Amino acid sequence: MHSKWRILSSGLFLFVLVSVLLLGLMQADAHNGFPYESASQRQIQRGRYLVTAVGNCVGCHSPNKTPDDPQWLAGYLPGTPGQPFQIGQFRIYASNITPDLETGIGSWTPQQIFNSLRHGQDKQGKTICPPMPWIYYRDQSDRDNWAIVAYLSKGIKPVRNQVPENTTVEGTRPNCAPLYQNLQPLPSYPADNEIEVRKNWW
Count CB neighbours of 169 within 10 A: 10
Only one of the segments 3-11, 16-24, 121-129, 191-199 lies at the binding site for ligand HEC (rule: CB under 6 A); that segment is: 121-129
Among the candidate windows 13-21, 30-38, 130-138, 188-196, which touches ligand HEC by CB under 6 A?
Answer: 130-138
Report whether 168 contacts 90 (CB < 8 A).
yes
Which residues, 35 to 74, sit near ligand HEC by CB under 6 A?
51, 55-57, 59-61
**Residues belonging to the chain:** 202
Smaller CB distance to ligand HEC: residue 37 or 122? 122
The distance from CA 174 to its chain's CA centroid, rounded to whole angstroms, is 23
Cα-Cα-Cα-Cα dihedral sign, residues 138, 136, 167, 161: positive
In the complex, least distance from residue 202 CB atom to ligand HEC, rounded to whole angstroms: 31
Binding site for ligand HEC (CB under 6 A): 51, 55-57, 59-61, 85, 92, 94-95, 97, 105, 113, 116, 122, 128-129, 131-133, 137, 148, 166
